[in-house]
Structure 1
Amino acid sequence: MSDQFVIRPAREDEIPAVGYLIAYAFNDLLADAYLVPPLADRVNVMADFFTLLTEHAQSYGRIDVIDRPGGDGLAATAVWFDYTREAPDPENYEERLAALAGKYLDRFQALDELFAKHHPHDEHWHLAFLAVHPEEQHHGLGSLLMRRTHAELDAAGTPAYLEATNADNVRLYRRHGYVDMDPFEMPLPDGTPFFRMWRKPA
């Protein structure tokens, strides 16, 4: 791993850029295609959605970023929520979700219901989003971001949880100590699955 990639906390004014990076990196995922089927709408709607959640992580978790070489935007991000303490919903969440989702609101509500139903109750940190710019992939940036937070969670004896989106991601997370939960799959209404995974502290 090149020393050109340095992890730092996201600034408040970078939250929209983090949301856009996640939307851009996730644009081809089946889950995003379910939420916003038309490609013409997808990135903008999803960027607003990811920005809303990332904004909340500033108060109830952490947002790590890595800059692209040369300072041309963000290369990667990891957005975590701390569920070892009370973490309320974002302020005015339902109203803000309705405003950004528009005619796709019922799909986002189905996603929220699915995640709420299957979220573990034990104390943990939740890796909500791990995103790498498509032009910066295959440099190990996702692993670099995970190792940084996992080291802190291991020292504190805190487990981690995530919902993987496809088989490639499941393999990546297994390499970092995550194991399949029961139930493992949780499908959206159209059958698109997420995969629940849990990591015990080392």
Structure 2
Amino acid sequence: MIVLERAGDQDAEQIGALISEAFWDLDASQWIIGDPADARRVFPEYFIHVAAAVLGGGGVVEWTPERDAVAVWVPTLATDPEPDPGDWDVVLDKVCGPYADRFRVFEGLQHAHHPHGVDHHYLAMLAVRPDRQGQGLGTAMVEAYHEKLDRDGVGAYLEAAGPRQRRLYERAGYRDYPGPYQLPDGGPSLFPMWRAPRS
């Protein structure tokens, strides 16, 4: 059985670095920032702010004691109000510079495809350090969290970053919701997926 620890506000910087390291090579990451040098400069700072926002907003961030994998969950109620993008726009401009609009497009499409009007937990990010990928670590983390959701009768939602990730999540009980969508300008597809709670 996997052992996980709950991250706190003080861990945002380390979480951001871990997510960045795991996400460098994703097609969506390269669509947002095509220049590798800029990506290595911008993404860590961006993910630090994302982690801080989730931790400060009541999200659940779990990671391994070795700090080689992290799962970022956002509990979402059917009655939650629409988020106010004002403050976040300021963060994007400051942190992402010339790439801020790409981030806005990416996040806007994510929001448009996100389920509304139903209680669920959103797996915003599952990041495993590259040298630990493919060893079942991420799957074990997700399945451990699913046990809690199943006890509470709550569904889960995510966007798989590509066909390989989609197949992994299918094995964990996720199904297409309703199907893939493509980033503009010939960008890659993302795969929204939903997991119904198991009794």
Q: Could you state the TM-score of these two structures normalised by the residue count of structure 1?
A: 0.89
The 5-angstrom pairing of residues 36-115 of structure 1 reads 36-58=33-55, 59-68=57-66, 74-84=67-77, 86=80, 88=83, 92-115=87-110
Q: 2 CA distance for matches of 1:178 and 1:24? A: 25
Greater alpha carbon shift after TM alignment, 42-51 vs 151-160: 42-51
**AA partner of residue 130 (structure 1):** L
Contact 1:22–1:131 under 8 Å retained in 2:
yes
Q: 2 CA distance for matches of 1:114 and 1:90? A: 14
Aligned counterpart, 1:71: none
Aligned pair partner of 1:29 in 13, 26, 30 = 26
Q: Percent identity?
A: 36
State the Cα deviation string for residues 143-176 of structure 1 (Å, max 9, x = none): 1210121001000100000000011110110011
Q: CA deviation at 1:91?
A: 7.7
Greater alpha carbon shift after TM alignment, 131-140 vs 101-110: 131-140
Aligned counterpart, 1:13: 10
Q: 2 CA distance for matches of 1:109 and 1:45? A: 14
Aligned counterpart, 1:177: 173
Q: 2 CA distance for matches of 1:140 and 1:90? A: 36
Secondary structure of the 1:127 match is strand
Q: 1 CA distance for matches of 2:104 and 2:86? A: 16
Q: 2 CA distance for matches of 1:18 and 1:89? A: 24
Q: 1 CA distance for matches of 2:61 and 2:165? A: 20
Aligned pair partner of 2:128 in 112, 127, 132 = 132
Q: CA deviation at 1:48?
A: 1.7
**AA partner of residue 100 (structure 2):** L
**AA partner of residue 115 (structure 1):** Q
**AA partner of residue 111 (structure 1):** F
Q: 2 CA distance for matches of 1:150 and 1:201? A: 8
Give the gaps of 5 or more residues in structure 1: 69-73
Q: 2 CA distance for matches of 1:16 and 1:89? A: 24
Give the gaps of 5 or more residues in structure 2: none
Q: CA deviation at 1:15?
A: 0.9
Matched, 1:148 2:144: yes
